[in-house]
């Protein structure tokens, strides 16, 4: 960044100057992951672009344009729409409970039926929650963020959508929302005393929560995670096949397009939740580590962008988006390796699926906006508004 741009911030309002400030390393890294995803989708389809690889690339191309466009949006606009977007997302989650409006599939009511299309409000809430929390903490004092009765406000902002999503039921997304919200609270300066107390309370509450609150199929997933070999052809089938695929790849893998578990359809959801197991089978330990390194570089780049922002809103918004992305990678990776229950969280940009890709790329558009407007000072304001 030149000194002239620092001393003359008005120069940054021109679109060519803004465009030059986009972090092209982040854009390039997302292209790498999406490209690997297309390559794996081509493989699991038996060497065909249909039905997954071609659509994956087309969606990513469109989402990349969206990300670059959102990067040019003034960060003050993001801050202005934070609460309204959160409010709309919350109302949409509530509307799912209305008979005839909520759309049910596979035993879960997670979509809104608009007639001409269906939308999943929980995906909107992932970004809306980050924006709303960043907006709240931008106007909060350091003392209120660390330890104060006012912590009830961000906890309520996290709790309401988490409970609504858990009721759908969608345990994976509910867990993602809760962990993302708590990550933002931590980065905002939450007291370690509260963090340790919360972790202790969570550890105590998990057993009764699993036994008495979860739905039967969710409870079965947790029990299967603890003993997958107990029912290898039933409830433990997914995780057992994933472990077989990952273990059979060895150090270097069986070779591109030669993965037996995926090619012979033993591996379930090979194009979505378990695509990382396909990477392990065909490219082995080295391939998995390489993919994880690229994910790590994306996370590190986003965190660096967050650290460069001059506004508290920008720092927390970028860090919150990064936390969401990192949790996607962490939960899916742990799931396919048998270190966490199967909760239906895909590997971002690698797995097939348009909804998650759109959410992730809009989030990266926000991160890029923080990068482009990193020197902009935002008024603190007080209270909720």
Asked whether residue 253 is domain-assigned, the answer is yes
Asked whether residue 291 is domain-assigned, the answer is yes
The pair of structure tokens assigned to 118 is 């269906």
User: Which range of residues forms the domain containing residue 150?
Assistant: 81-214
Q: Are residues 232 and 185 in the same domain?
A: no
Q: Say which residues have a Cβ less than 8 Å from residue 63's Cβ, sequence separation at least 6.
A: 357, 358, 360, 361, 362
Q: Are residues 244 and 341 in the same domain?
A: yes
Asked whether residue 299 is domain-assigned, the answer is yes
The pTM of this model reads 0.90
Three-class secondary structure of residue 210 per DSSP? helix
Q: How many CB atoms lie within 10 A of CB 156?
A: 9
The pair of structure tokens assigned to 326 is 């990192």
End position of a domain, from candidates 163, 192, 214: 214
Asked whether residue 298 is domain-assigned, the answer is yes
Q: Are residues 344 and 255 in the same domain?
A: yes
End position of a domain, from candidates 214, 241, 256: 214
Asked whether residue 3 is domain-assigned, the answer is no
DSSP letter string, 73-90: S-HHHHHHHHHHHHHHHH
Q: Are residues 165 and 64 in the same domain?
A: no
Q: Are residues 317 and 233 in the same domain?
A: yes
Query: Angle between the 354-372 and 24-44 helix axes, to the nearest 10 degrees?
Result: 170
How many residues are given for the chain?
385
User: What are the backbone dihedrals phi and psi of residue 105, each rounded to the nearest 5 degrees, phi first?
Assistant: -150, 140
Q: Are 178 and 126 in contact (CB under 8 A)?
A: no
Distance, in Å, from the CA atom of 244 to the CA atom of 223, rounded to the nearest integer, reads 19
Please tell me the total count of domains within the chain. Answer: 2
From residue 350, how far is each of 226, 248, 276, 277, 353 by CA, in Å? 27, 21, 8, 11, 9
End position of a domain, from candidates 214, 245, 265: 214
Q: What is the pLDDT along the chain (385 residues), one digit of tens a residue?
A: 433 333 344 444 677 778 889 999 999 999 999 999 999 999 999 889 989 999 999 999 999 999 999 999 999 999 999 999 999 999 999 988 887 777 777 667 788 877 766 788 998 999 999 999 999 999 888 888 888 888 999 999 999 999 999 888 888 899 999 999 999 999 999 988 888 888 888 888 877 877 777 777 777 777 777 777 776 766 678 888 888 888 888 899 999 988 888 887 888 888 888 999 999 999 999 999 999 999 999 999 999 999 999 999 999 999 999 999 999 999 999 999 888 888 878 999 999 987 889 999 999 999 999 999 999 888 775 444 4
């Amino acid at each position: 960044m030149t000194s002239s741009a620092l001393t003359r911030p008005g120069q940054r309002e021109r679109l060519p100057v803004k465009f030059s400030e986009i972090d092209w390393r982040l854009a390039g890294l997302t292209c790498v992951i999406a490209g690997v995803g297309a390559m794996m989708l081509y493989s699991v389809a038996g060497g065909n672009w249909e039905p997954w690889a071609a659509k994956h690339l087309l969606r990513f191309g469109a989402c990349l344009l969206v990300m670059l466009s959102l990067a040019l949006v003034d960060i003050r606009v993001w801050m202005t729409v934070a609460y309204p977007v959160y409010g709309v997302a919350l109302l949409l989650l509530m509307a799912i409970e209305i008979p005839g409006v909520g759309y049910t599939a596979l035993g879960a009511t997670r979509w809104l039926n608009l007639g001409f299309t269906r939308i999943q409000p929980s995906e909107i809430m992932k970004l809306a929650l980050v924006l709303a929390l960043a907006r709240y903490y931008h106007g909060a004092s350091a003392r209120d963020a660390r330890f104060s009765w006012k912590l009830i406000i961000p906890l309520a902002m996290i709790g309401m959508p988490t409970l609504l999503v858990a009721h759908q039921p969608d345990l994976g997304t509910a867990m993602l929302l809760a962990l993302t919200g708590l990550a933002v609270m931590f980065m905002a300066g939450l007291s370690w005393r509260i963090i340790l107390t919360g972790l202790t309370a969570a550890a105590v509450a998990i057993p009764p929560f699993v036994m008495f609150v979860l739905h039967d199929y969710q409870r079965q997933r947790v029990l299967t995670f603890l003993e997958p070999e107990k029912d290898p052809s039933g409830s433990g089938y997914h995780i057992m096949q994933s472990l077989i695929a990952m273990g059979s790849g060895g150090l270097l893998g069986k070779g591109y397009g030669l993965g037996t578990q995926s090619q012979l359809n033993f591996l379930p959801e090979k194009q979505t939740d378990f695509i990382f197991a396909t990477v392990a089978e065909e490219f082995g330990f080295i391939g998995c580590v390489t993919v994880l390194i690229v994910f790590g570089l994306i996370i590190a780049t986003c965190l660096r962008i967050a650290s460069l922002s001059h506004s508290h809103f920008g720092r927390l918004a970028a860090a919150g988006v990064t936390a969401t992305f990192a949790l996607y990678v962490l939960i899916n990776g742990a799931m396919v390796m048998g270190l966490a229950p199967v909760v239906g969280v895909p590997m971002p940009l690698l797995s097939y699926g348009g909804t998650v890709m759109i959410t992730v790329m809009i989030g990266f558009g926000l991160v890029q906006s923080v990068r482009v407007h990193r020197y902009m000072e935002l008024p603190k304001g007080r209270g909720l508004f």
